[in-house]
Amino acid sequence: MDKKAKLWSGRFKEGTNILAEEMNASISFDKRLFRQDIRGSIIHAMTLQRAGALKKNEASKLIKGLRAVEKEISSGKFVFTPGMEDIHMAIEKRLIEKIGRLGGKLHTGRSRNDQVALDERLYLKDEIVSILALIKEFQKTVFEIARKHVDTIMPGYTHLQRAQPVLLAHHLLAYFEMLKRDFDRFSDCLKRVDVMPLGSGALVGSPYNLDRHFTAKTLGFSSVTENSIDAVSDRDFALEFLASSAILMTHVSRLSEELILWSSQEFGFVELSDAFSTGSSIMPQKKNPDIAELGRGKAGRVYGNLVSLLVVMKGLPLAYNKDMQEDKEPIFDTVDTVKSILKVFPVMLKTMKVKKDKMRKATAEGFLTATDAADYLVKKGLPFRKAHEAIGRIVVDCVKKGKTLEDLAFKEWKGFSNLFEKDILRAIRVESSVNARKIYGGTAKATVVKRLKKVEDELKKG
């Protein structure tokens, strides 16, 4: 490679080895930052003019040239090659080709170190705003489905064993709460992304009188970095984004797992639309929940991106090191993965068929109201541990005889304990069990309806 092709080649006697050049180049993936890079360069030119480092006509010519380069890239006419090294050098090199030596003045007072930190922050700012909007739509979908199922009763589970009856609406609203926290996490992350690093130079700041607060305000940043070394050498804002994404994908994965289980013949609680299922290449009868499975699988991919960048950063001395070039692909892949999931899942849920009768039937099996029977005895004065033991013996007897609690006649209940009165038959009904949980945050219909109203108000406020 001709060393003169590099904008930094003055100190070098030899060109870059082709293998080293291929490893060093990031243009294949960081080219997607071209809009952010050009936007930052335009404002940098304005800042240089304010500092007296550029004349007004020079700044105008630079800005015009940058917009022309942006147009070339946007239209697909710009051809990227590994020799360009990265998006920053590619744009600057093309700018010099278009407007001559003046293009070489653009890099005055900055380094690629603060330039890339700026580009990544601008990129993540835009993407987090998009992700927040998608999470909000996901929440709306969960709310809408929950509102339709305030009378649908299903088995609640612990250890994947049937535990107690619960409203499907209450179960779904658990995911609403998770998504709400995800929304808050990304919103909070945005505050730390929204800090302007340009002017930090390679690590010690710029010797030019650059008005960094003007740059920040013009680029739409809320604040300016306080330490030039920190500004170029840390990626905790990116790590926080990846961590927030990993937690979000944990919630997506858990929902995916339930959809996969619920759509199986063993559960039969829901049926996913054909539009979000696939068939088998060999078994004609199969209807596979592939989209839900991919939602579960892609969580691992996002976890890997977080761990990858954590490992890259953990041993780096201050300030910038080339290792940090490895931050972009995990960020880009996570953005793409999270956005694709958030777009498809709400549509899949809206087209899902809920099998209410199958859910209701499942609650009648497995002694789901056994705790209610124990609570009945507690209200009659029996200590809970004694009540727990007594109902446990009744369950054992029912299992032996192939009965459910609802199959027992009052006479049989009385045979187990004189504390039982006829109202035990009502107390162990599934509907009674659900509506007994009127405590704030519980599954009683009245409580869930109140929560749905609050959620509706929250969504309307945005």
- Residue of 455, 449, 404 lying closest to 425 (CA atoms): 404
Q: Residue 158 phi/psi, 5° resolution?
A: -135, 145
In this predicted structure, the answer to whether residue 371 has a pLDDT above a threshold of 90 is yes
Architecture of domain 370-428: Orthogonal Bundle (1.10)
pLDDT average, residue stretch 302-309: 98
pLDDT digits (tens, 9 = 90+) for 182-221: 999 999 999 999 999 999 999 999 999 999 999 999 999 9
What percentage of residues in the chain have a pLDDT greater than 90?
A: 90
Q: How many Å apart are CA 171 and CA 363, to the nearest integer?
A: 14
Radius of gyration of the chain (CA): 31
Tokens 């404002």 identify what position? 43
Residues of the chain within CATH 1.10.40.30 domain(s) are 370-428
pLDDT average, residue stretch 385-393: 95
List all residues 6 or more positions away from 390 whose beta carbon is below 8 Å from its beta carbon: 374, 377, 382, 416, 417
What pLDDT, on the 0 to 100 scale, is given for residue 7? 62
pLDDT band at 6 (very low <50, low <70, confident <90, very high): low
Q: How many Å apart are CA 249 and CA 301, to the nearest integer?
A: 10
User: Is the separation of the CB atoms in 1 and 16 below 8 Å?
Assistant: yes
Tokens 């009683």 identify what position? 444
Residues of the chain within CATH 1.20.200.10 domain(s) are 113-361
Which residue is catalytic, options 130, 222, 223, 280? 280
In this predicted structure, the answer to whether residue 58 has a pLDDT above a threshold of 60 is yes
Q: How many Å apart are CA 39 and CA 28, to the nearest integer?
A: 20
Run of H or E including 357: helix 356-363
Residues of the chain within CATH 1.10.275.10 domain(s) are 3-108
What pLDDT, on the 0 to 100 scale, is given for residue 185? 98
Which residue is catalytic, options 44, 159, 251, 273? 159
User: Which DSSP state fits 278?
Assistant: B
Pairing between β-strand 161-167 and β-strand 223-224 as defined by DSSP bridges: unpaired
Q: How many Å apart are CA 309 and CA 300, to the nearest integer?
A: 14
List all residues 6 or more positions away from 323 whose beta carbon is below 8 Å from its beta carbon: 312, 313, 316
pLDDT average, residue stretch 387-391: 95
In this predicted structure, the answer to whether residue 8 has a pLDDT above a threshold of 60 is no
Q: Is 280 a catalytic residue?
A: yes
C-alpha to C-alpha distances, 54 to 70, 105, 200, 210, 345, nearest whole angstrom = 21, 8, 19, 12, 51
List all residues 6 or more positions away from 294 whose beta carbon is below 8 Å from its beta carbon: none
Run of H or E including 155: strand 153-158
**Bridge partner list, 166:** 154
pLDDT average, residue stretch 71-85: 90
Per-chain mean pLDDT for the chain: 95
pLDDT digits (tens, 9 = 90+) for 429-442: 999 999 999 999 99
In this predicted structure, the answer to whether residue 372 has a pLDDT above a threshold of 70 is yes
pLDDT average, residue stretch 383-396: 96
Q: For the domain 3-108, what is the CATH code? A: 1.10.275.10
pLDDT band at 2 (very low <50, low <70, confident <90, very high): very low
Residue 356 is encoded by which pair of tokens?
A: 């209410």
Q: Considering only 9-18, 21-30, 156-165, 263-272, which range has the smallest mean pLDDT?
A: 9-18
Tokens 């003169």 identify what position? 4
What pLDDT, on the 0 to 100 scale, is given for residue 240? 98
In this predicted structure, the answer to whether residue 1 has a pLDDT above a threshold of 50 is no
User: Is the separation of the CB atoms in 178 and 155 below 8 Å?
Assistant: no
Residue 125 is encoded by which pair of tokens?
A: 């700012």
* Model pTM score: 0.93
Query: Which amino acid, one-letter code, is at 274?
Result: D
User: Is the separation of the CB atoms in 84 and 27 below 8 Å?
Assistant: yes
What pLDDT, on the 0 to 100 scale, is given for residue 3? 47
Pairing between β-strand 153-158 and β-strand 161-167 as defined by DSSP bridges: antiparallel
What percentage of residues in the chain have a pLDDT greater than 70?
A: 98
What pLDDT, on the 0 to 100 scale, is given for residue 39? 98
What pLDDT, on the 0 to 100 scale, is given for residue 25? 81
pLDDT digits (tens, 9 = 90+) for 122-179: 999 999 999 999 999 999 999 999 999 999 999 999 999 999 999 999 999 999 999 9
pLDDT band at 81 (very low <50, low <70, confident <90, very high): confident
pLDDT average, residue stretch 30-58: 97
Residue 115 is encoded by which pair of tokens?
A: 């330039």
Q: For the domain 113-361, what is the CATH code? A: 1.20.200.10
Q: How many Å apart are CA 410 and CA 104, to the nearest integer?
A: 93
Q: How many Å apart are CA 53 and CA 61, to the nearest integer?
A: 14
